[in-house]
Amino acid sequence: MALVAPGAVEKLVPDSAGAYRYDYPVLRYADAYLPSFSLEAVHVSLGIPKAEVVVDIGSSIGRTCA
């Protein structure tokens, strides 16, 4: 796991063929969940405050109704 931006991590996982095609959007570290660099980049580029990003583990990623 690598720290790629303040508060964001990147963990790529190779598939059975050894190719990297999947990125975990959120990673658990100790008692916290950290966003991947990809998720962090999306919320920043769309101008969505981090507090409005909602992750339902195993289901969806969305935005709170503000």
Burial 6-16 (b: 16+ CB within 10 A, else e): eebbbeeeeee
Residue 35 contacts residue 51 (beta carbons within 8 Å):
no
Question: What is the reported pLDDT for 27?
Answer: 82
pLDDT per residue over 1-23, tens digit each?
A: 444 455 555 566 777 888 877 77
Where do the DSSP E strands lie in the chain? 2-5, 8-10, 12-14, 20-23, 26-29, 32-35, 53-56, 60-63
Q: 3-state class of 8 per DSSP?
A: strand
pTM above 0.85, yes or no: no
* pLDDT above 70 for 32: yes
Per-residue tokens: 54: 């909602």
